Amino acid sequence: MRHNFKITAFILLVTVGLGCVQSNYRPSDQSGDQPDLSGMSTMISPASPAVYPATLTEPTAGDGVLSAQLRVNNGQALLNAVEAARLGLYGGGIRRRVKCTDNTHIYIQPLGSVHVTVASVWTTKAHTTMTTFDPTAAGALAASTRYWVYASLVAGVVTFTRATDAVGPPDDGLRYKASSTDYELVSTFITNAAGNIVTYTQSDNRYTYTDRTSSGAVDGNCVLYEGTDDSGISVAYGYAVPTQAAEVTLLGFFVTSAATFNKTDVAVLGISNFCMRIVSSTSTYATNLDSCSIPYADGGQFYYKVSDLATDKLTVNVTGFTL
């Protein structure tokens, strides 16, 4: 009797014990099924600015993982990376459209996003509204100088700054400041001898000066003033055209006191014997304009000549360039 009681107790103990063991089987573990996550109660949103994670911390087999740890170490980091990528691709990528009307007003149309490093971490912030940038807010502009405009993130806010060509030129890819990926390239401008910006418009890498410097000397975007050489001489673009340019557009302003002249009276020569000629009908003391676009090459200069140095004068302004 006592023996039968022990056997019965043992069977009950085993039965209860097996009932307390949690099965590892899940209906969703079947081939082709996905786990049902609808019961999860914690929603996460991407950070702003969004940061690309340099690394992710993955649990190994046997680690005890808390949901909060998994969310912070992996879920949030991956979501931030997806958001950063989305912003970077917004509208097909960054678009640089800029208009400068005076020293204190550079209108920067929405770039889409700004993608820079912050403390060595790649970070992306949306830029979807126009910004008015005042380059004089950081101090007076230097005369006869080329500046570059950059976007950066300061305390999570898109911020625009300026840098002279001597101190902060862009990298070879024209994407960031050469010295730091903290600053993304947006635009470039020049000042004349009076320290005023030569106004311009910009569509991505194409720049058009909207003002023609006419101070009576080589100044701003005027690179030749009343030249009279009749043998063919070179003229440097100077700071009116950045050395990174691929193409330059020139405007010729020709004056002569000769009784007659025709299209052979003046020529602006580029590389490969490219020639722009001023075309006009015969007249007395004529003032004539013509323009041309030539590749930026040959050491950043062009050549010109007039037919008669005693009567002919040529003034040339840079009206635009393509980076």
Taking only the tens place, the pLDDT of each residue in 79-120 is 666 666 666 666 566 889 999 999 999 999 999 989 999 999
Per-residue model confidence (pLDDT) at position 94: 83
**Residues 6 or more apart in contact with residue 271 via CB below 8 angstroms:** 294, 295, 297, 298
Higher pLDDT, 10 or 34: 34
pLDDT above 90: residue 258? no
CB 271 within 8 A of CB 298: yes
Instruction: Considering only CA atoms, give the Rg of the chain.
Output: 34
Assess whether 292 and 309 both reside in one domain: yes
pLDDT above 90: residue 318? yes
Neighbours of 86 (CB within 10 A): 14
Higher pLDDT, 310 or 199: 199
Assess whether 255 and 220 both reside in one domain: yes
Neighbours of 80 (CB within 10 A): 22
Tokens 């993608």, residue? 115
Q: Does residue 37 lie in a domain region?
A: no
pLDDT band at residue 29 using 50, 70 and 90 as cut-offs: very low
Higher pLDDT, 158 or 258: 158
Average pLDDT, the chain: 77
Cα three-residue angle 136-141-147, rounded to 5 degrees: 95
Assess whether 144 and 166 both reside in one domain: yes
Structural domain of 180: 97-208
By mean pLDDT, which of 45-54, 198-207, 250-259 is the weakest?
Answer: 45-54
Per-residue model confidence (pLDDT) at position 45: 72
Per-residue model confidence (pLDDT) at position 23: 44
Assess whether 156 and 228 both reside in one domain: no
Burial 296-323 (b: 16+ CB within 10 A, else e): beeebbbbbbbeeeebbbbbbbbbbbbb
SS3 45: coil
What is the phi/psi pair of residue 7, to 5°? -65, -40
Q: Which of 190, 208, 226 is the last residue of a domain?
A: 208
Per-residue model confidence (pLDDT) at position 107: 98
Q: CA 156, CA 50: separation in Å to the nearest integer? A: 9
Tokens of 52: 């690309």
Higher pLDDT, 301 or 239: 239
Residue 125: name the closest of 160, 156, 166 by CA.
Answer: 156
Assess whether 247 and 292 both reside in one domain: yes
**Sheet hosting strand 146-154, strand order edge to edge:** 157-164, 146-154, 180-190, 176-177
Higher pLDDT, 75 or 5: 75
Q: Does residue 116 lie in a domain region?
A: yes
pLDDT above 80: residue 245? yes
Q: How many domains is the chain built from? A: 2
- pLDDT, mean of residues 225-243: 89
Per-residue model confidence (pLDDT) at position 309: 79
- pLDDT, mean of residues 195-212: 96
Assess whether 166 and 216 both reside in one domain: no
Per-residue model confidence (pLDDT) at position 289: 56
The DSSP 8-state label assigned to residue 13 in this structure reads H
pLDDT band at residue 205 using 50, 70 and 90 as cut-offs: very high
Assess whether 170 and 228 both reside in one domain: no
Assess whether 189 and 222 both reside in one domain: no
CB 213 within 8 A of CB 219: yes
Higher pLDDT, 58 or 189: 189
Q: Model confidence over 129-187: pLDDT tens digits?
A: 999 999 999 999 999 999 999 999 999 999 999 999 999 999 999 999 999 999 999 99
The CATH code of the domain that includes 260 is 2.60.120
Higher pLDDT, 36 or 111: 111
Burial tier of 248 (Cβ tally within 10 Å: 0-12, 13-18, 19+) = buried
Per-residue model confidence (pLDDT) at position 181: 96
Assess whether 203 and 218 both reside in one domain: no
pLDDT above 90: residue 312? no
Burial 94-108 (b: 16+ CB within 10 A, else e): bebebbbeebeebeb
Assess whether 252 and 286 both reside in one domain: yes
Assess whether 160 and 227 both reside in one domain: no
Tokens of 66: 């808390």
Cα→Cα distances 30→26, 27, 284, Å: 8, 6, 95
The tally of CA atoms less than 13 A away on the side-chain side of residue 4 is: 1
The DSSP 8-state label assigned to residue 293 in this structure reads E
Cα three-residue angle 122-123-127, rounded to 5 degrees: 140
| Amino acid making up residue 54 | A
- Give the residues across from 177 on adjacent strands: 170, 180
